[in-house]
Amino acid sequence: MDPRDVFQVEIRTRDLRKAMSFYGAIFDWKIQPSAPDYALIDSGQMPVISIFETRDPRFPLGIADNVLVEDCQKEGDRAVALGGRICVRKFVVPNQGAYVGTFDPWGNELFFWEPFTTGRPHLKGSKKNPVILLEIATPDLAAATKYYSTLLGWSFWGVVFADNYAFAERCGLARGVGLFGTKADQAHGTTNYVAVANLAETLAKVRAAGGRIVTEPSQFPGEGKFFVFEDLEGNRMGALEQSS
């Protein structure tokens, strides 16, 4: 099967204005409200990024990745057959598309987006801060590798720097998707990494904006340097300064 691309990264919030201000102070993103509860972000590169204000219990705080599919219901059913479960039943966005939300067997959220048109957004942002990597934590690396390979066509392989990490290139992201094997009581869900030119400057911006540093700057072997932070509502994201 053709690999499914991560098409959109959705940041959820209880306060759209506050979230727009926070991320606008850190990254070079063009943030444009498209509805009273929604804002689209143009980083200049795919995937699309958005901020969604909601108090609907079906959409908890967090960051949800949307993969592009031809039939969201079919893919949701396949996820269930592989051990996942549906958390948001099929919902149609008039004139735009439909989606189904799922959890993998370890509770990581993933949505299937079925567009009604074949067009892609015309992104005009600076290209300085795109989302380039998705990391998914799991207490069972072998089972997660099989789950995502079977469901989405992502081809993983082990990496030399860690025996608890599997990596798949691209998948709609400049660097791809990583599966991070960890103990059940240490799993932390998914983390999307944003490319930055200067990690120290980005760290200072996160702190100045009121964010909390979860993982201090560290080496990402073979990639560069990174840190992980939480925004004002506890949504987790990473910053990655790639090696030249």
Q: Which CATH class is domain 131-242?
A: alpha beta
Going from N- to C-terminal start, the domains of the chain cover 6-115, 131-242
pLDDT computed for residue 97 by the predictor: 95
Asked if pLDDT for residue 160 goes beyond 60, the answer is no
pLDDT above 90 as % of the chain: 86
Averaged over 223-240, what is the pLDDT?
96
pLDDT computed for residue 224 by the predictor: 93
Mean pLDDT of the chain: 94
Averaged over 84-109, what is the pLDDT?
96
pLDDT computed for residue 70 by the predictor: 95
| Number of helical H runs and strand E runs in the chain | 4, 16
Read off the pTM.
0.95
Q: Given pLDDT bands bounded at 50, 70 and 90, which one contains residue 179? A: very high
Q: Are 6-115 and 131-242 in the same CATH fold?
A: yes
Per-residue pLDDT tens over the stretch 114-136: 999 887 788 999 999 999 999 99
Per-residue pLDDT tens over the stretch 22-42: 999 999 999 999 999 999 999
In the sheet that 30-35 helps form, which strands lie side by side, from edge to edge? 30-35, 38-42, 48-53, 6-13, 63-68, 109-115, 97-103, 85-93
Asked if pLDDT for residue 184 goes beyond 90, the answer is no
Averaged over 2-10, what is the pLDDT?
94
Are 101 and 109 spatial neighbours (Cβ–Cβ below 8 Å)? yes
Q: Given pLDDT bands bounded at 50, 70 and 90, which one contains residue 223? A: confident
Per-residue pLDDT tens over the stretch 191-216: 999 999 999 999 999 999 999 999 99
Name the phi and psi angles at 22, rounded to 5.
-60, -55
Averaged over 48-62, what is the pLDDT?
95
Q: Given pLDDT bands bounded at 50, 70 and 90, which one contains residue 1? A: low
Q: Given pLDDT bands bounded at 50, 70 and 90, which one contains residue 162? A: low
Architecture of domain 6-115: Roll (3.10)
Q: Given pLDDT bands bounded at 50, 70 and 90, which one contains residue 222? A: confident
Q: Which two tokens stand for residue 41?
A: 């972000």
